[in-house]
Structure 1
Amino acid sequence: MTLLLSNEDAAEVLTMSNTLDALEELYRDLGTGSAVYRGRTDLFAPTVAEIGADIPAAHQFKTLDGAIPRLEVASIRVTSDVVAFPEVNGLRRRIKIPAATGKSYVGLVFLFSSATGELISIIQDGILQRFTVGAINAIGAKYLSRRDSSVVGLIGAGSQAGPQLAALKQVRPIRHVRVYSPTAGEADSFATKMSELLGIEVTVAESAEAAVTDVDIAVTATNSRVPFFPAAWLKPGMHLSCMQRDEPNSDCFKEADVVVFHTRMKEHEYVSTDFAETEKRFNFVMRDHPPRDLDWNDFPDLGELVAGKIKGRQNPQERTFFLNSTGVGAQFTALAHLIYNGSRKLGLGYEVPAEFFVESIQP
């Protein structure tokens, strides 16, 4: 039987603690080469969704995959998104449009058995994605930030910001957070919610720079497609944790004493010719991330850090920097396996006969 699992089912199983444990084991596997994944693939095509004549938009079809022999599973994550790139406060941002039935989104993880090749589960990816991104950056902080780090500066108060803090609190003794968001009222509601949820003091900063002044860990959790975090804000002893690669200025990569990427493997992007014409009209390259003048091979990755192949922080004064450069397919394999096993034990989900997903004709 193939088990269909919703975000609600995933939320019954996942905790930030078991997510961190599962992913730290995964990155040890990746660091030793016993787990494998491919670079992300993005297809961009025009969309007929009504976004607005003056806003660039696209249909972005994205896949990531990975296999973990230790768990005897492999997976592929598929997202089918309608995306737009509006300008907000002078900065270009990427937003997903809820264009599917009932104003919803489309994202699924397909989990396969390495023993039989069968599809054993299909899992909605929303909760899984939030947990995994928060946990990945926290693992970076565990190996790179000072052990006594207790004050966090957070830029961004959207859906990904909460998991960033929840995961950090698992690996460091966080007691105070300052949060900034350019969206009116967003930081205030976030501070109220997270103070109660995490049992720590969360206050609102008046600017991005004020949020990260004199903090131990600076976290960026935004959808900006224009870099905004300069190396001048990265002070001795601080750890910078960026949720995506468009947030830090280029000087951060040169000025930080230790820089670690999530992965050195870049995504592969393919664009239809008619969509390319749309890009010319807007004079804007509508990729998930605009190109940057960086050689990713110059930097170590998280697997090497967790496996002990490279050193992390060496002294309290070092300025460290972890960049969640792009996704790793195996991260979804690890959490899909965790959700699948937990759901089986709890009797969650909806079973579909496996015969729907196998065939007698050899392809």
Structure 2
Amino acid sequence: MSAKIDFLYLSEPDMIKAGVKDMAKCVEVMEDMMVTLKKGDYVMGGENHNSHGCMVTFPDNPEFEGMPKNGEDRRFMAMPAYLGGNFQMAGMKWYGSNTENKKAGLPRSILMMMLNDKDTGAPLALMSANLLSAYRTGAIPGVGAKYLARKDSKVAAIVGPGVMGKTSLAAFISVCPKLDTVKIKGRGQKSIDSFVEYVKKEFPQIKTIKVCETMEEAIKGSDIISTTTCVGDKEALFPYIDEAWIKEGALICMPSAARFDEKFYLDKNTKLVVDNYKLYEAWAEEYPYPSYDPVQIVGCKFMDLMHDKKITRDEIIDVTDVITGKLTGRDNDKQRIIYSVGGMPVEDIAWGETVYKRALELGIGVRLNLWEEPELH
């Protein structure tokens, strides 16, 4: 056997050629990944094997010259995982994030993905991961909409018209063919204009685009609501959504945080759904109660309510139980559903593996050599 190791480098243009922006396929892959996850054929980080990842943050006042200072979303994150099933792949997404990047014309987060042979650990691919991450993040709400949204859904509200808002809308449209209206609530005119241009270019089936001045205006009358906004560091500072604004039958997809009155969570006609219950168990172990403040994903609020004995475990539904037919998704057309999207490294593995295999088929990317023979072994 040869000890030579080559791996494939895929730039962002390479990733696009290999289909990273194929949202319909991404939704299909994420559904397969979630079923694999439910079977237990995966490993993520931490002793519980369900950790989101490992994060490096910085002090408010560093004592060492050159050490970064804490700032808005200033962090590094490593997200390792192994995923079995149809994927049989190990790897890690690694990124740095800093809101100040936008001033330099850079994305807030700059991401890379490494795929590794599950047995030897040898690198298989190093790929640009901004689009990979954005599309897998949007596809998870798409899986939720497929199983939880009303079939006659026509109006989608995007609260936070950034990258996640764009890919979430793409996923909604891929699974809800009757969508014809988009309502937008953003803070900056630049992001709103970019979003409007994106919708006009990508989705000619959308007949009405409405820019809203308030959260209330965006949410009222919407069948699917996506919240992807930056929030404060305490639940009391999260954007407020009044139950009275939410249409009967609405699906609220939340890869971010918001603040609801507690009675909305406890209402018998509100269903609480998560993308992977074990992820929220892991967060509850890793962060002190209440975990909703530091994690800022609404499924952690569900766990806090369960901690307070205000809801039971059975009232938190894992969406994969709906996919596999173990539980019903929507019980009736008036039921309002909150769907929590946490983000997991197995999602990056699944979509990364799919795009990598497609790149191999098409001969896309640059083959790089690690060694012909290892110097030490």
TM range, smaller chain: 0.7 to 0.9
Q: Is 1:177 matched with 2:177?
A: no
Kept in 2: contact 1:65–1:77 (CA 8 A): yes
Tell me how far 1:103 sits from its aligned partner. Answer: 8.5
- SS at 1:160's partner residue? helix
Residue in 2 that maps onto 1:191: 196
Q: Which of residues 227, 242, 248 is equivalent to 2:254? A: 242
- SS at 2:247's partner residue? coil
Q: Is 1:322 matched with 2:328?
A: no
Residue in 1 that maps onto 2:243: 231
Q: Which moved more, 1:25-34 or 1:351-360?
A: 351-360
- SS at 2:222's partner residue? coil
**Counterpart mapping for 1:200-215 below 5 A:** 200=206, 201-215=208-222
C-alpha separation in 2, matches of 1:159 and 1:10 = 17
Kept in 1: contact 2:222–2:246 (CA 8 A): no
Q: Is 1:301 matched with 2:318?
A: yes
1:4/1:227 CA distance change after superposition, 3 Å: same
Kept in 1: contact 2:145–2:251 (CA 8 A): yes
- SS at 1:20's partner residue? helix
Structure 2 gaps, min length 5: 1-5, 45-49, 233-237, 285-291, 307-312
Opposite residue 255 of structure 2, the aligned amino acid is M
Opposite residue 113 of structure 1, the aligned amino acid is D
Kept in 1: contact 2:80–2:345 (CA 8 A): yes
C-alpha separation in 2, matches of 1:102 and 1:149 = 35
Residue in 2 that maps onto 1:73: 89
Residue in 2 that maps onto 1:273: none
C-alpha separation in 1, matches of 2:352 and 2:16 = 12
Tell me how far 1:262 sits from its aligned partner. Answer: 2.2
CA RMSD of aligned residues (A): 3.2
C-alpha separation in 2, matches of 1:358 and 1:305 = 49
Tell me how far 1:138 sits from its aligned partner. Answer: 1.0
Q: Is 1:134 matched with 2:118?
A: no
- SS at 2:189's partner residue? coil
Tell me how far 1:258 sits from its aligned partner. Answer: 1.4
C-alpha separation in 2, matches of 1:357 and 1:77 = 27
Q: Is 1:34 matched with 2:51?
A: no
Q: Which of residues 1, 7, 12 is equivalent to 1:7? A: 12
**Counterpart mapping for 1:99-114 below 5 A:** 105-114=109-118
Structure 1 gaps, min length 5: 84-94, 270-284
- SS at 1:353's partner residue? strand
- SS at 2:137's partner residue? helix
Residue in 1 that maps onto 2:352: 336
Kept in 2: contact 1:142–1:171 (CA 8 A): yes
C-alpha separation in 2, matches of 1:191 and 1:2 = 39
- SS at 2:182's partner residue? strand
1:293/1:286 CA distance change after superposition, 3 Å: closer
1:186/1:340 CA distance change after superposition, 3 Å: closer
Higher RCO by CA contacts (8 Å cutoff, separation 6 or greater) = 1
**Counterpart mapping for 1:144-155 below 5 A:** 144-155=148-159
Residue in 2 that maps onto 1:86: none
Kept in 2: contact 1:77–1:329 (CA 8 A): yes
Tell me how far 1:221 sits from its aligned partner. Answer: 2.1
**Counterpart mapping for 1:107-126 below 5 A:** 107-126=111-130
Q: Report the TM-score when normalising by structure 1.
A: 0.80
Kept in 1: contact 2:272–2:302 (CA 8 A): no
Opposite residue 121 of structure 2, the aligned amino acid is G
Kept in 2: contact 1:177–1:203 (CA 8 A): yes
1:97/1:354 CA distance change after superposition, 3 Å: same
C-alpha separation in 2, matches of 1:78 and 1:20 = 23
C-alpha separation in 1, matches of 2:172 and 2:348 = 20
Q: Which of residues 18, 21, 28 is equivalent to 2:25? A: 18
Output one character per residue of 1:336-357: Cα deviation in whole Å (capped at 9) or x when no partner.
1011111112222221124389
Output one character per residue of 1:11-63: Cα deviation in whole Å (capped at 9) or x when no partner.
22220011111111111111222233331222212475888xxx845742212
Tell me how far 1:250 sits from its aligned partner. Answer: 5.5
Give the total of aligned pairs: 330
Residue in 1 that maps onto 2:3: none
Tell me how far 1:169 sits from its aligned partner. Answer: 0.4
1:300/1:356 CA distance change after superposition, 3 Å: farther
Output one character per residue of 1:284-305: Cα deviation in whole Å (capped at 9) or x when no partner.
x995649965416742333333
1:68/1:352 CA distance change after superposition, 3 Å: same
**Counterpart mapping for 1:156-175 below 5 A:** 156-172=160-176, 173-175=178-180
1:359/1:123 CA distance change after superposition, 3 Å: farther
Q: Which moved more, 1:251-260 or 1:233-242?
A: 251-260
